[in-house]
Amino acid sequence: MATDAETGTGEHQAWPDADHAVGDDAVVEQAPERQVHWGRWVALVVVVLLGAGYLGTAVYAAGRIPAGTFVLGVDIGGLGRAAAVEALAPAVTEVGTTPVILTAEERSASIVPDDSGLVADADATVDSLMRFSLNPYDILRTFTGRRVDLVPVTTVDEDALVAAVEATGETLDVPAQDAGVIVAETGASGEPAVDGEAVDAEATAAGLAAAWPVDTFPAVTAPAPAQISTADAETFAAELNADVLAGEVAMTGPNGDATVTSEQLTRFGSVVAIEGALALTIDGEPLAAELESADPTLVSAASSASFRFDANHALKTVESQPGRAIDGALLGDAVVAAATSADRAGELPYKETEPAITSDELGVSDFTKKVAGFATPLTPEPIRTKNLVRGAELITGQVVQPGDTFSLLGALSPITAENGFYPAHVIVDGFISDGIGGGLSQMATTLYNASYFTGLEDVEHRPHSKYFSRYPAGRESTIYIGSIDVKFKNNTPFALVLSSYVTGGELHVDVWSTPYFTVKTSASPRSNVKKATTVESDHEGCINTPIGADGFTITNTREVFLKGDLVDKKSYTWTYKPNDGVRCV
């Protein structure tokens, strides 16, 4: 049975195979269909190629800054990310370190952005300008375009910026002037207040953060009213005139009473602002001086410590006593309190005043008894004795504080006729002659022994070159201006005072203090004895003298005890020359 295809009579007809087509009609119908088939493929390929090129161009454009792009005046158009960040970095650094000037009328102050919480970010700025886009305009802008000036991406530390703006208030703020009160001879009068102007730090910071980068920026300001108003001052002045300054003030004290007049209240008074309120103050120091001058009995004078030696050479001491005077530092407040009280009365404040010399400074509390004394016999030369009397006057009353060193020459100087000394026998170059102050070596010996038995530290002394029997052998001293002195140091914790006098044919030196050391002394036998003879001399000013003591060597040893314990032991050896007689030729 034949099919539809075979008979050609069926409803569906298959496309003839090209290899089996017969007749011209079959060939003519096949050619257009083949052309359409290949055209579609070519078109598709063209579209694919064009799309790929467009996409590649878009990708390339996404990695570049659009042409004509300027940030902070820097041309970064057409640059890739790394190159754009590198090009922009110097300008970002500069804008962060360039001060911004804040202005308020004629006043100005500056802040540095980097130090004030304002930061320009080169990386973030470049990233914000680079994005992928298939928009032909966006792609075209990568390669060509007009100039566009942009600002960098910024970040703000709000707290830091507000703090930086607040700091400019020292320059930009106009402080308010509180109302005040002037006190004059005619009474109190008010002075009007003047409102000020202050920077609103938060508002200024917010505006600057939005506007930056800029070179200048007008600060936002707000009125700053005075704390004390004109009305407050006028009310206070009226109260002063009607009450506080209107009459006298009675002040009482241990030394007597004083009246502060209305005139004094206004003359020494002034009004100050304390914690936002007005207050009357009185300048107490000059007022105290004026009250004391008008009535000296309001002051008790201080008395200095002192001492004296009576006719029996016993020490009499007087302790220092503090004085009393009006305390000017407290007087002002006391008078204001009295002037505002119901009875307009108050107490005078007092303070103790120090004497010129206190007991502690002088050490009189240490002068409890005579702790040591020494005496040497006088010679029959009245002029020599006069020198010793004058020397005793200069020594008496000399105070040596603990740790201080006493110098005999320092106490006696100048040894001149003008200072009360006379010419008498002295030893010069081993020979007796006359000189001003002759005989003062006896003062040296007597003082040395007094300090010796007190246990004081020997700083300087030197015995005579020849021995005189009126002195302890080897335990005596001479003086000579410029080369030989007697010095001792007070190595006790108590002050001491010296007393010297001539009586009963002797020169005395006493030491008054508080007992401290105990002293024992011993002397060796004399050795190396050399007989004295008579020698002839043509020395200028030579004086005939008889033969004196032989020369010899001797050692003195002193032991010093404190509360029974030996604290010091020293020996001193001295060799005397023979005290030859002299026959002048």
213: preceding bond cis by omega (within 30 degrees): yes
pLDDT (0 to 100) of residue 68: 81
Reported in sequence order, the residue ranges of 225-294 that DSSP labels E, i.e. its strands, are 249-253, 256-260, 269-274, 277-282
Contact assessment for residue 72 and residue 153, using Cβ atoms and an 8 Å cutoff: no
371-392 per-residue burial string, b: 16 or more CB within 10 A, e: under 16:
bbbbbbebbeeeebbbbbebbb
Token digits of residue 571: 């020996």
The per-residue pLDDT for range 435-450, each reduced to its tens digit, is: 687 889 999 999 999 9
- Closest by CA to 554, choosing from 506, 521, 520, is 521
pLDDT of residue 76: 87
Average pLDDT value for the chain = 87
pLDDT at 144 over 90: no
Most confident of 1-5, 49-53, 101-105, 135-139: 101-105
Give residue 566's pLDDT. Answer: 98
Residue 139 to residue 57: CA distance in whole angstroms: 7
- Helix (H) or strand (E) holding 307, with range, is strand 306-309
Is residue 503 very low, low, confident or very high in pLDDT (cuts 50, 70, 90)?
A: very high
Q: What is the pLDDT of residue 2?
A: 36
Cis preceding-peptide flag for 414 (omega within 30 of 0): yes
Nearest to 193 by CA among 177, 208, 181, 174: 177
pLDDT higher than 60, residue 310: yes
What is the chain's alpha carbon radius of gyration, rounded to the nearest angstrom?
57
Over residues 5-25, the mean pLDDT reads 39
Q: How far apart are the first and last CA of the chain?
A: 200
pLDDT for the residue numbered 55: 60
Say which DSSP state 241 is in: I
Q: To which H or E segment does residue 559 belong?
A: strand 551-562
Kindly give the pairing relationship between strand 100-104 and strand 216-218.
parallel
CA dihedral 223, 224, 230, 235 (to 10 degrees): 130
447 Cβ contact list (under 8 Å, min separation 6): 395, 408, 486, 498, 500, 509
What CA–CA distance (Å, rounded) separates 570 from 560? Answer: 9
Please name which of 120, 203, 205 lies closest in space to residue 155, comparing C-alpha atoms. 120
27 and 16 in contact (C-beta within 8 Å)?
no
Mean pLDDT of 160-174: 94
